[in-house]
Amino acid sequence: MERDVEYLKDKAKDIRRTIVRMIYQAKSGHIGGSLSSVEILVTLYYRILRIDPKNPDWPDRDRFILSKGHSVEGYYAILADLGFIDREELETYCKFNSRLTGHPTVKIPGVEANTGSLGHGLSIGVGMALAGKVDNRDYKVYVLMGDGEQAEGSIWEAGMSASHYRLDNLVGIVDRNRLQIGGPTESVMSLEDLSDKWKAFGWSVIEVNGHDIKELINVFENTPITRNKPTLIIAHTIKGRGVSFIENKAEWHHKVPTEEEFARIMEELA
Ligand SMILES: [Mg+2]
């Protein structure tokens, strides 16, 4: 089904509310990076990815890997909304014996890889994309990375091999919110010029506003940008997007709102 931009915008609003509710109830979670990646996830899952929630292991499905595995709440909310898991299961998030742990695992239908130990997702994606080429299947592989995560050396090994193997069925996305747990990326471990770095590794690079669903659709629908080259999308976002007192604050990387803050957040996201 092809969903229009308005539908996706409404969905993004819903998902934001679910993210905050899950974190507040569990008293645990990564609120800043989850809120920054909502539009990316929503555009992929409700418009771009070729998937079938009733058949999560369908060999021709597109693959999505959440390499920034800590930003898991929006991911779970979407998997539940689409029917990969039951909605009620969201209530178990981060509870004892729940499948819905603070980082995703393949025990959950629809999850392609265990992630959260940063820097691994792109290598897994390279393997899946290469397998697709070898098997002559036309699926695509999408890997969402954090910008802080770009400091992991293994990302660049994966980047090098993806262009070596001409994996134009691979799309890397960087959630470029300019913050990581310890502060601004440019003071913790400077990344710029990030676009030039990826280009030097043989990728086609495009920069978008990661909250603009129209722009995201346009770029996703036009990958690969260059035949025989992997695509890297730098999605400029705001950490904590949607909540005035959380936006652009590194301390909200992993912080649980108080009762009063929770009420304020829900008001802002209404
Ligand atoms: Mg970040």
- Mind listing the pLDDT tens digit of every residue in the chain (270 residues)? 579 999 999 999 999 999 999 999 999 999 999 999 999 999 999 999 999 999 999 999 999 999 999 999 999 999 999 999 999 999 999 999 999 999 999 999 999 999 999 999 999 999 999 999 999 999 999 999 999 999 999 999 999 999 999 999 999 999 999 999 999 999 999 999 999 999 999 999 999 999 999 999 999 999 999 999 999 999 999 999 999 999 999 999 999 999 999 999 999 999
Ligand 1 midpoint to CA 103 (Å): 16
User: Distance of alpha carbon 54 from its chain centroid, rounded?
Assistant: 22
70 sits in the region (left: phi over 0; alpha: psi -120 to 50; else beta) called: alpha
- Predicted TM-score (pTM) of the model is 0.98
The answer to whether the beta carbons of residues 46 and 8 sit under 8 Å apart is yes
Ligand 1 midpoint to CA 118 (Å): 12
Structure tokens at 248: 């652009």
Residue 1: per-residue pLDDT: 56
Angstrom distance (rounded) from CA 5 to CA 114: 31
Angstrom distance (rounded) from CA 150 to CA 205: 15
Residue 119: per-residue pLDDT: 96
Closest CA to 235 of 172, 150, 176, 159: 176
Ligand 1 midpoint to CA 97 (Å): 29
Ligand 1 midpoint to CA 218 (Å): 23
Ligand 1 midpoint to CA 156 (Å): 17
Q: Measuring CA to CA, how many Å separate 170 from each of 130, 207, 251?
A: 9, 16, 33
Ligand 1 midpoint to CA 2 (Å): 30
Angstrom distance (rounded) from CA 142 to CA 174: 11
Residue pointed to by tokens 């993806």: 162
Ligand 1 midpoint to CA 52 (Å): 30
Ligand 1 midpoint to CA 243 (Å): 16
Ligand 1 midpoint to CA 13 (Å): 21
Which residues have C-beta within 8 Å of that of residue 200, sequence separation ≥ 6?
none
- Domains for the chain: give ranges and CATH numbers: 5-268 (3.40.50.970)
Ligand 1 midpoint to CA 182 (Å): 10
Ligand 1 midpoint to CA 33 (Å): 6
Type of residue found at 170: L
Residue 144: per-residue pLDDT: 98
Ligand 1 midpoint to CA 149 (Å): 8
Closest CA to 111 of 51, 178, 43: 51
